[in-house]
């Protein structure tokens, strides 16, 4: 009993002593957490250097773009060929990827030898050989009748310029083995965005944001970067941690000075490092009684599989004795313990170094995504990682220690690289097919010049129809006389009340105009109009309006003041004088009953009477386009057009009286409110309307009406986008084919989101954030597609608006018999003002379609309010002499 204890004590003591001895001897190979954090930081800097355009040429870590932009989403299907050209073998593989999300992969493969002279020969010989093998494979597997997409794994560093390079096979995806590993794992786990190989060599790849990749054009989405991290330290960055053993090993290698990081890590070198250490220890008399064997002196005699065997949990010590004995040594128990510990230190250092670099990548991913915690998966492959008994555990533990804010899952890739090449090919072919479908949808929104010219011409026709007595009743563009005949001349002055009704809000304003300096002061209050009032009864609506006016007068201390009032009422009204306007029909979001066919000024007067608290002198009823034109005309006498691109779309302009058949007078000019939103209601632009426009129309309050407006204005653009997104999702091209409840909800996609999403300053991640807020869980690729959809819809809107405007300026030019026309357009509306591209595209379109007109655009500062006051002032001015007469 005592003897047993004594033995155990003796053994424990022996072990401790040996371990201490080796620990001391290899002190330099044992890396502290601090050192690992330091290496991690250095690798982060290396990645940055490799990605930068100017720094890449001198960077040792090359960060090669792979042109692999998407990971599998499970919808891949079909048959693919793949070739794996690795260090020692060459494999041809046929992979069948199943359909219906079963994530099932079947493979048939065949190995071919890779003759050294071919590997070392020139590129074209290699490719000829590859093609021969491929032909043989296709013949033996009876695949000659088909054309397959093909992927090629190539585990040597190589610069790719394009994923698909033609080689007489359909598609050729050239894939690095790390990428293959990542892709294979990503097929099973969509969180996988890193691939790491720890085998003969070591390397890693990960998905990087395109905006960070200087070497490739484009900023959208992500691309897989093959880091080629094995070369880390080739510029001397790791000299402080390299040991004499590393230097000795490097000098004896095929590529001295190269792949220095790899030489401390990978399977090709670990055994040799152990050999060099054991040899030195023997020389120093620390092992084998100072004796060496010729095998121990021979390069390559200890391989990494030996290291793995020596470190085995139970048989390790016995294995060590056997291995050392096979090397012609006569190891004591103490020697075996020491040798085993050497192996542990060497392989542990390897895991530590890998962990530090991997931690740097994970941190980069987390920072790219601006996340506090990152959940991600790393696809792993490589023989060292797979066969070494302790390696994976150690690696995982250190990574988790170095990046505590990442939840990392490690996933072993099955038959990694080759299957991965097929996956890359499958994804490329899926992406290509999807791209075609998406392009088909977007193409519906891409108007050619001839389309725009035709819109311009048709608009011109409708403008003329509206002006003529005979055709006016049937015209879709109503061309309503406004009885606004004079532009401000700068002599206007006084205090006015203005009302602005036409969008989502109602405003009451007090406007003070001072003559001479053309200065205007305004005070206003905004009141919400609840939906139930917008769509309730007319009496309720006007009572609400009067209530708001009362509030405002109270608020301004103006109770009892008898101010002239201008009423901006931005719906189509038939006017017979400046203070009479019969609502023809509601547009935009309004639907109050008993108003259509009624005079809005009368309705307002009656509501004031019902309230019986104050009286107002209603001088003018004004359309917002007219107010806008007037406001801008106050600054720029050349302004003879008013344009609104807000909730709705409309335009007004100054027309010669003689052309306005509905008004008797023939002298001077009058402003015409075109109400062009109704353009197309006779079907004349149905050739360019899409199914999505029709869906938006059918879901609106006024189906069949305002077709042009529904393609161009703020109230509808978001809805068009939503309809397209639903369709693309149905086709499986977005949101993993899942139509969420949110996406089904009318109105969730507001036009302001188009502005945000299309902003050039916005990174894709932010687009994703916006979509997330909308309850749309998007991938990176989804965000790109959504952005494209928004762009297509808003671009078309701006172009159509531009074509309409081109029609009017050309008309003005011809009517005045001018070779060249200079004219200013006063513009208002949030779509025009806040969308990042709308105004530019609109202006470009006008320029292109009306080259003989020099059109300036002047933004109106609160046209509806100021304009109403100015019109009221002008009307007052024109009234005065008549009264005096
Ligand atoms: P209205 O035309 O109703 O008098 P606006 O000119 O302010 O008022 O337009 C409001 C409309 O503008 C909203 O209904 C919405 O469709 C759109 N809109 C709001 N914010 C934005 C934005 N950031 N970018 C583009 N359109 C917007
Ligand atoms: Mg407005």
Residue nearest to atom 21 of ligand 1 (CA): 752
CA distance 274 to 291: 16
CA distance 153 to 89: 12
Q: Give percent above pLDDT 70 in the chain.
A: 91
Question: Using the 8-state DSSP alphabet, how is residue 389 labeled?
Answer: S
CA distance 746 to 724: 13
Does 828 or 84 have the greater pLDDT score?
Answer: 828
Torsion of CA 810, 816, 817, 820, to 10 degrees: -60
CA distance 344 to 870: 88
The pLDDT of residue 155 is above 70: no
Residue nearest to atom 20 of ligand 1 (CA): 752
- Residue recorded with tokens 């790393």: 378
pLDDT number for residue 885: 39
Structure-token pair, residue 258 = 């190269």
Measured from the alpha carbon of residue 865, the closest ligand is: 2
DSSP 3-state assignment of 611? Answer: helix
Question: Which residue among 528, 644, 709, 830 is best mutated to probe the pocket of ligand 1, counting the most ligand atoms within 8 A of its Cβ?
Answer: 830
pLDDT number for residue 109: 80
Structure-token pair, residue 873 = 């002032």
Q: Cα of 864 to ligand 2 centre, how many Å? A: 6
In ligand 1, which atom is closest to the CA atom of 715? Answer: 16
Q: Cα of 524 to ligand 2 centre, how many Å? A: 14
Does 109 or 732 have the greater pLDDT score?
Answer: 732
The pLDDT of residue 87 is above 70: no
Known catalytic membership, residue 24: no
pLDDT per residue as tens digits for the range 211-262: 899 887 777 788 899 999 999 999 999 999 999 999 999 999 888 999 999 9
Q: Cα of 581 to ligand 2 centre, how many Å? A: 18
CA distance 500 to 864: 6
Question: Which residue among 647, 832, 833 is best mutated to probe the pocket of ligand 1, counting the most ligand atoms within 8 A of its Cβ?
Answer: 647
The pLDDT of residue 880 is above 80: no
Does 353 or 187 have the greater pLDDT score?
Answer: 353
Average pLDDT over residues 290-314: 95
The pLDDT of residue 190 is above 70: yes
pLDDT number for residue 122: 63
pLDDT number for residue 165: 43
Q: Three-class SS string for 691-738?
A: HHHHHHHHCCCCCCCCHHHHHHCHHHHHHHHHHHHHHHHHCCCCHHHC
| Other Cβ atoms closer than 10 A to 804 | 31
Pocket of ligand 1 (CB under 6 A): 502-504, 646-648, 714-715, 751-752, 755, 829-831, 834-835
Mention every residue, 6+ apart, whose C-beta is less than 8 A from residue 823.
638, 639, 640, 641, 809, 812, 853, 854, 855, 856
Distances (CA, A) of 810 to 287, 486, 840: 98, 22, 19
Q: Cα of 568 to ligand 2 centre, how many Å? A: 9
The pLDDT of residue 161 is above 80: no
Catalytic residue among 60, 429, 570, 783: 570
Does 426 or 122 have the greater pLDDT score?
Answer: 426
Question: Which residue among 568, 648, 751 is best mutated to probe the pocket of ligand 1, counting the most ligand atoms within 8 A of its Cβ?
Answer: 751
Give the confidence band of 151 by pLDDT, cuts at 50, 70, 90.
low
Residue nearest to atom 27 of ligand 1 (CA): 752
Does 51 or 81 have the greater pLDDT score?
Answer: 51
Question: Which residue among 755, 758, 831 is best mutated to probe the pocket of ligand 1, counting the most ligand atoms within 8 A of its Cβ?
Answer: 831
Structure-token pair, residue 540 = 């309720």
Give the confidence band of 490 by pLDDT, cuts at 50, 70, 90.
confident
Known catalytic membership, residue 507: yes
Phi-psi region of 86 (alpha: psi -120 to 50; beta: other; left: phi over 0): beta
- Residue recorded with tokens 């139930």: 532
Q: Specify whether the CB–CB gap between 190 and 71 falls below 8 A.
A: yes
Q: Cα of 756 to ligand 1 centre, how many Å? A: 13
CA distance 537 to 607: 13
pLDDT number for residue 6: 74
Residue nearest to atom 14 of ligand 1 (CA): 647
| Other Cβ atoms closer than 10 A to 550 | 16
| DSSP string over 834-867 | HSTTHHHHHHHHHHHH-TTEEEEEEE-SSHHHHH
CA distance 774 to 814: 49
- In degrees and rounded to multiples of 5, residue 467 shows phi and psi of -80, -25
Residue nearest to atom 16 of ligand 1 (CA): 714
pLDDT number for residue 149: 65
The bridge status of strand 192-198 relative to strand 202-209 is: antiparallel
Structure-token pair, residue 419 = 């299957």
Give the confidence band of 118 by pLDDT, cuts at 50, 70, 90.
low
Residue nearest to atom 17 of ligand 1 (CA): 714
pLDDT per residue as tens digits for the range 639-676: 999 999 999 999 999 999 999 999 998 899 999 999 99
The pLDDT of residue 164 is above 60: no
The pLDDT of residue 515 is above 80: no
Q: Specify whether the CB–CB gap between 64 and 225 falls below 8 A.
A: yes
Give the confidence band of 160 by pLDDT, cuts at 50, 70, 90.
very low
Averaged confidence pLDDT in the chain: 89
Measured from the alpha carbon of residue 838, the closest ligand is: 1
Measured from the alpha carbon of residue 751, the closest ligand is: 1
pTM beyond cutoff 0.75: no
CA distance 819 to 268: 81
Q: Give the angle subtended at the CA of 647 by the CAs of 710 and 835, to the nearest 5°.
A: 95
Measured from the alpha carbon of residue 868, the closest ligand is: 2
Q: Give the angle subtended at the CA of 560 by the CAs of 555 and 565, to the nearest 5°.
A: 80
Torsion of CA 243, 246, 251, 255, to 10 degrees: -130
The pLDDT of residue 194 is above 80: yes
Measured from the alpha carbon of residue 568, the closest ligand is: 2
Does 704 or 765 have the greater pLDDT score?
Answer: 704
Does 164 or 434 have the greater pLDDT score?
Answer: 434
Distances (CA, A) of 555 to 11, 560, 607: 95, 13, 20
In ligand 1, which atom is closest to the CA atom of 648? Answer: 2
Q: Specify whether the CB–CB gap between 811 and 463 falls below 8 A.
A: yes
CA distance 129 to 31: 45
Does 75 or 834 have the greater pLDDT score?
Answer: 834
CA distance 476 to 481: 15
pLDDT number for residue 162: 41
DSSP 3-state assignment of 578? Answer: coil
pLDDT per residue as tens digits for the range 331-346: 999 999 999 999 999 9
In ligand 1, which atom is closest to the CA atom of 830? Answer: 6
Q: Cα of 694 to ligand 2 centre, how many Å? A: 26
Catalytic residue among 84, 624, 681, 697: 624
pLDDT number for residue 551: 93
- In degrees and rounded to multiples of 5, residue 677 shows phi and psi of -55, -25
pLDDT number for residue 103: 62
pLDDT number for residue 591: 92
Q: Specify whether the CB–CB gap between 714 and 829 falls below 8 A.
A: yes
Measured from the alpha carbon of residue 505, the closest ligand is: 1
Among the listed ranges 88-102, 475-489, 591-605, which one has the minimum average pLDDT value? Answer: 88-102
pLDDT per residue as tens digits for the range 445-457: 999 999 999 999 9
Residue nearest to atom 26 of ligand 1 (CA): 831
Catalytic residue among 242, 507, 689, 707: 507
Of 480-494, 728-742, 824-838, give the range with the top mean pLDDT.
824-838
Q: Give the angle subtended at the CA of 873 by the CAs of 867 and 878, to the nearest 5°.
A: 125
Q: Cα of 663 to ligand 2 centre, how many Å? A: 27
In ligand 1, which atom is closest to the CA atom of 504? Answer: 3
The pLDDT of residue 882 is above 70: no
In ligand 1, which atom is closest to the CA atom of 505? Answer: 3
pLDDT number for residue 334: 94
Q: Specify whether the CB–CB gap between 402 and 37 falls below 8 A.
A: yes
Q: Cα of 607 to ligand 2 centre, how many Å? A: 23
pLDDT number for residue 559: 83
Average pLDDT over residues 613-636: 91
- In degrees and rounded to multiples of 5, residue 284 shows phi and psi of -80, 5
Q: At what angle do helices 267-283 and 244-251 cross, to 10 degrees?
A: 120
pLDDT per residue as tens digits for the range 537-551: 999 999 999 999 999
Q: Cα of 501 to ligand 2 centre, how many Å? A: 8
In ligand 1, which atom is closest to the CA atom of 828? Answer: 6
pLDDT per residue as tens digits for the range 368-399: 999 999 999 999 999 899 999 999 999 999 99
CA distance 528 to 716: 20
Q: Cα of 443 to ligand 1 centre, how many Å? A: 26
In ligand 1, which atom is closest to the CA atom of 864? Answer: 4
- Residue recorded with tokens 């891949």: 76
Q: Cα of 628 to ligand 2 centre, how many Å? A: 9
CB neighbour class for 849 (10 Å; exposed up to 12, middle 13-18, buried from 19): buried
pLDDT number for residue 150: 64
pLDDT number for residue 1: 54
Q: Which of 233, 189, 209, 231 is nearest to 380 (CA)?
A: 189
Give the confidence band of 488 by pLDDT, cuts at 50, 70, 90.
confident
CB neighbour class for 581 (10 Å; exposed up to 12, middle 13-18, buried from 19): buried
- Residue recorded with tokens 């004795």: 321
Give the confidence band of 145 by pLDDT, cuts at 50, 70, 90.
low
In ligand 1, which atom is closest to the CA atom of 500? Answer: 4
């Amino acid at each position: 009993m005592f003897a047993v204890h004594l033995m155990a004590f003796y053994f424990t003591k022996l072990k401790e002593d040996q371990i201490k001895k080796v620990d001391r001897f290899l002190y330099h190979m044992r890396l502290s957490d601090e050192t690992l954090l330091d290496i991690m930081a250095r690798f982060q800097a290396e990645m940055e250097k490799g990605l930068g355009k100017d720094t890449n040429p001198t960077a040792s870590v090359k960060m090669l773009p792979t042109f692999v932009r998407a990971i599998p989403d499970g919808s891949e299907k079909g048959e693919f060929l793949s070739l794996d050209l690795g260090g020692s073998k060459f494999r041809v593989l046929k992979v069948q990827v199943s359909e219906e999300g079963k994530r099932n992969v079947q493979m048939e493969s065949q190995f071919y030898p890779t003759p050294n002279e071919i590997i070392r020969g020139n590129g074209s010989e290699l490719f000829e050989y590859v093609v021969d093998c491929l032909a043989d494979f296709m013949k033996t597997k009876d695949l000659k009748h088909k054309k397959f997409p093909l992927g090629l794994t190539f585990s040597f560093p190589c610069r790719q310029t394009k994923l698909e390079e033609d080689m007489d096979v359909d598609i050729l995806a050239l894939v690095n083995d790390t990428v293959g590993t990542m892709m294979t794992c990503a097929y099973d786990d969509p969180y996988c965005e890193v691939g790491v190989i720890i085998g003969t060599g070591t390397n890693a790849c990960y998905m990087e944001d395109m905006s960070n990749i200087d070497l490739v054009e484009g900023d959208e989405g992500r691309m897989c970067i093959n880091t080629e991290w094995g070369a880390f330290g080739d510029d001397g960055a790791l000299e402080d941690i390299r040991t004499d053993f590393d230097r000795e090993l490097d000098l004896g290698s095929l590529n001295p000075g190269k792949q220095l990081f790899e030489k401390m890590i990978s399977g090709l070198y670990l055994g040799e490092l152990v050999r060099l250490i054991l040899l030195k220890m023997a020389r120093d008399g620390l092992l084998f009684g100072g004796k060496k064997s010729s095998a121990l002196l021979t390069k390559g005699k200890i391989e990494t599989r030996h290291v793995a065997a020596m470190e085995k949990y139970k048989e390790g010590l016995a294995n060590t004795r056997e291995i050392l004995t096979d090397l012609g040594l006569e190891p004591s128990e103490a020697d075996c313990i020491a040798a085993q510990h050497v192996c542990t230190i060497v392989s542990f250092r390897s895991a530590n170094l890998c962990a530090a670099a991997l931690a740097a990548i994970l941190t980069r991913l987390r920072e790219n995504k601006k996340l506090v915690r990152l959940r991600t998966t790393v696809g792993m492959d490589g023989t060292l990682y797979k066969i070494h008994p302790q390696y994976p555990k150690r690696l995982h533990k250190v990574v988790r220690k170095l990046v505590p804010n990442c939840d990392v899952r490690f996933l072993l890739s099955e038959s990694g690289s080759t299957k991965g090449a097929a996956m890359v090919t499958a994804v490329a072919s899926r992406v290509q097919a999807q791209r075609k479908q998406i392009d088909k949808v977007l193409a519906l929104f891409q108007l050619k010049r001839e389309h725009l010219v035709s819109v311009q011409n048709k608009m011109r026709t409708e403008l003329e129809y509206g002006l003529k007595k005979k055709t006016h009743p049937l015209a879709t563009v109503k061309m309503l006389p406004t009885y606004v005949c004079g532009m401000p001349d700068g002599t206007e002055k006084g205090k006015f009340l203005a009302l602005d009704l036409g969008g989502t809000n109602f405003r009451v304003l007090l406007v003070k105009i001072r003559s001479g300096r053309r200065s205007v002061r305004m005070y206003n209050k905004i009141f919400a109009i609840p939906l139930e009032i917008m769509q309730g009864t007319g009496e309720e609506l006007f009572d609400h309006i009067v209530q708001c006016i009362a509030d405002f007068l109270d608020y301004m201390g103006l109770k009892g003041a008898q101010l002239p009032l201008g009423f901006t009422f931005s719906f189509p009204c038939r006017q017979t004088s400046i203070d009479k306007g019969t609502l023809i029909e509601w547009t935009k979001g309004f639907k109050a009953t008993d108003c259509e066919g009624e005079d809005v000024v009368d309705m307002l007067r009656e509501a004031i009477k019902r309230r019986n608290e104050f009286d107002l002198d209603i001088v003018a009823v004004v359309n917002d386009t007219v107010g806008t034109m007037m406001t801008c005309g106050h600054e720029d006498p050349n302004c003879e057009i008013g344009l609104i691109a807000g909730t709705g779309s409309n335009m007004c302009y100054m027309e010669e009286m003689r052309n306005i058949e509905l008004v008797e007078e023939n002298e001077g000019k009058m402003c015409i409110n075109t109400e062009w939103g109704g353009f197309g209601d006779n079907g004349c632009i149905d050739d360019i309307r899409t199914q999505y426009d029709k869906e938006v129309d059918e879901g609106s309050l006024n189906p069949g009406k305002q077709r042009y407006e529904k393609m161009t204005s703020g109230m509808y653009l978001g809805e068009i986008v939503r309809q397209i997104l639903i369709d693309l999702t149905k086709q499986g091209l977005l949101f993993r084919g899942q139509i969420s409840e949110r996406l089904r909800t009318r109105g969730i996609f507001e036009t302001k989101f188009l502005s945000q999403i299309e902003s050039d300053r916005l990174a894709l991640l932010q687009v994703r954030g916006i979509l997330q807020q909308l309850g749309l869980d998007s991938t990176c690729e989804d965000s790109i597609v959504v952005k494209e959809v928004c762009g297509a819809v808003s671009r078309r809107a701006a172009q159509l608006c531009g074509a309409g405007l081109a029609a009017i300026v050309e008309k003005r030019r011809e009517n005045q018999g001018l070779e060249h026309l200079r004219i200013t357009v006063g513009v208002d509306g949030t779509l025009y003002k806040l969308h990042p591209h709308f105004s530019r595209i609109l202006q470009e379109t006008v320029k292109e379609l009306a080259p003989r007109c020099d059109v300036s655009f002047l933004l109106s500062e609160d046209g509806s309010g100021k304009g109403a006051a100015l019109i009221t002032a002008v009307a007052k001015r024109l009234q005065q002499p008549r009264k005096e007469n």
